[in-house]
Amino acid sequence: MDEHVQHLRLVLQVIRQNTSYAKKSKCTFGTGRVEYLGHVISSEGVFTDLTKIEAMVQWPEPKNVKQLHSFDWNEEASKAFQILKQHVQQASVLSLPDFNKEFIVEMDASGVEIGAVLQQDGHPIAFMIKALSL
């Protein structure tokens, strides 16, 4: 805790020196868990914030050819989606980024939504799924 307080003083000093401000309502101090950019960061590691993926997890698997085609999916894509849903719900699926290494972004889209995964060394670091407005 002493080291945390020392680091906090240094950060706040730099903020003050640069005439910047920290919004009190956005600050959390001395906690063992922080929610940040769709992740939960704690002493146990980095985890997916399940509230951020709730809509994807609840999205039903297409059951027939008509439903598959309505999403421009084939059977293989449907299976891959189910596997993705399982993996993003599991703890520690995301890795921390190493800014000295190359990043890879994979994207895919259908007529109703777009998705992207930020990866490094074959491990997901962050992901995004966004419904498209019609």
16-36: pLDDT as tens digits: 899 888 888 888 887 888 887
50 assigned to some structural domain: yes
Band of residue 6 on the pLDDT scale cut at 50, 70, 90: very high
70-90: pLDDT as tens digits: 555 556 666 667 776 776 666
121 assigned to some structural domain: yes
39 assigned to some structural domain: yes
Looking at the structure of the chain, the number of domains it has is 1
Check whether 92 has a pLDDT greater than 60: no
Range of the domain at 73: 31-131
Instruction: Say which residues have a Cβ less than 8 Å from residue 74's Cβ, sequence separation at least 6.
Output: 68
Q: Give me the residues paired with residue 128 across strands.
A: 116
How is residue 129 written in tokens?
């799924």
